[in-house]
Structure 1
Amino acid sequence: MSFWETITGSDLTREWKAFEARAAALPAGYLAAWEQIKGNLHPYGGFTGRDLMPILDAALGLLEEATADGLSIDEVLGDDIPGFCAALAGGAGARTYRDRWRAQLNSNVAKRLGRLGG
């Protein structure tokens, strides 16, 4: 990846188009699950979403393998897709915006208390 690709995000656009092309080959139920997965993983991404690409690739790979094995979407993901996504992102060490803001707030409060108490 070149500096220019990093700055413009053209590498992300290329990867995203590849994901969508792979997803288009999935059956309808899997395609609907893919849309839910994308929506539920979005809050775990950083500003650019670059950190989500490996997670999305793994999730799409899981759906492709399940399709090839003839499994139903419920057998693969269960009935709690948001929970599946939270576990998937948590396993990769991802944090939501809320987690980041909470850490920032706690840090600011601790600094303020340190100044007042010291």
Structure 2
Amino acid sequence: MNFLEKITGSDMTKEMKGFEARAKVLPAEYQIAWKDITSHLWIQADFTGRNLMPILESALELLEVTSADGQSVEEVLGEDIEDFCKALVGDEGTKTYRDKWREQLNKNVARKLGGLK
């Protein structure tokens, strides 16, 4: 990956397109699960989302292997995909990008209000 790819994120775009192409060959229920997994995991991303790429890769590999074995999505991921995603990223005590932005906003407001006294 060169500097320009890293700055623009084009390397991640290529990687995500590759993931999507691999997901398209999965059975329909697995494709739906993949879309749910990606939507639940992106809220755990940092600003660029680079921290999620290995996790997304592993999740897709899990779906590919288990679909080849003929297992159902529920057998693999459980009843709640959101809980699966939380366990996957270790949600205990982790902050989403929204939490980080909220914390930064609160600090800025407190600093501004503290400076007005």
Structure 2 runs not aligned, ≥5 long: 112-117
2:97 aligned with 1:72, yes or no?
no
Q: Secondary structure at the match of 1:7?
A: helix
* Alignment of structure 1 residues 100-115 onto 2, 5 Å: 100-101=100-101, 104=104
TM-score of the aligned structures, taking structure 1 as reference length: 0.81
Structure 1 runs not aligned, ≥5 long: 112-118
* Residues matched between the structures, number: 113
Deviation, 1:96, is 1.1
Superposition CA RMSD, Å: 2.4
CA contact (8 A) 1:45 1:94 kept: no
CA distance in 1, matches of 2:9, 2:106: 32
Deviation, 1:107, is 7.2
Structure 1 residue runs of 4 or more that deviate by more than 2 Å after TM superposition: 97-108
1:86–1:16 Cα change, 3 Å: same
TM-score of the aligned structures, taking structure 2 as reference length: 0.81
Question: Greater shift after overlay, 12-21 or 82-91?
Answer: 82-91
CA distance in 1, matches of 2:105, 2:11: 33
